[in-house]
Amino acid sequence: MYIPRLRGHMLPNDHLRGLVSCGLLMLVLSGTGAAQKGTAPNGYYPAGYNGATFTGRVVQTTDDTITLNYVHGSKTDTFEAYAAGPCNLPATKNKTQPMPLSKVQMGAVVTLFYEPKETKVYGKKQRKNQIIGILFLEENGRKVAEEHQAMFYCIAGASHFMGFQQ
């Protein structure tokens, strides 16, 4: 199992294999030519999840937000999402722990699994993207091998998951 290098953490690359059997998924993307917006593959997801994904390079993070850029030709698409709570990211060789998004390495290529949410800000409705999970595709300029890819959930207290059919 591939474990990404998080800011402030040195982690080996061959652990957390057991997480995949707990409903975490493997994802195949064909590199930078893949569309930035997509649909999640079959797997187990929180009830109500519609399957929305966005793939891009991490350009900014805070403890609860992450911004990705996807460059295609002369255009750049920017995508911002928030986590309702800390994401369960790798902490040691054998376990994950809740951590803020600010621990995700700048420049990493990731796929975010998200749900569009409407919230009211100063009495006006705004649409924001809430992260369900994060999948690391490239770290330190190197692609993550498919067999080492796993999704790390960003859902506080999630206990009900469902299969998603494409």
138-159 in b/e burial notation, b at 16+ Cβ within 10 A? Answer: bbeeeebeeebbbbbbbbeeee
Q: What is the pLDDT of residues 45-71, one digit of tens each?
A: 777 788 899 999 999 999 999 999 999
pLDDT-based confidence at 111, cuts 50/70/90? very high
Query: Where do the domains of the chain lie?
Result: 17-163
Q: How many helices (H) and strands (E) does the chain have?
A: 1, 12
Spatial CA neighbour of 58 closest among 50, 49, 67, 48? 67
Q: How far is CA 43 from CA 9, 46, 88, 163, in A?
A: 29, 10, 18, 5
pLDDT at 3: 53
Name the architecture of domain 17-163: Beta Barrel (2.40)
Predicted TM-score (pTM) of this structure: 0.71
112 against 145, higher pLDDT: 112
Q: Percentage of residues in the chain with pLDDT exceeding 90?
A: 38
Tokens 């109500």 correspond to 48
Q: Encode pLDDT of 144-157 as tens digits.
A: 888 888 888 887 65
What does the DSSP 8-state code read for residue 17? Answer: H
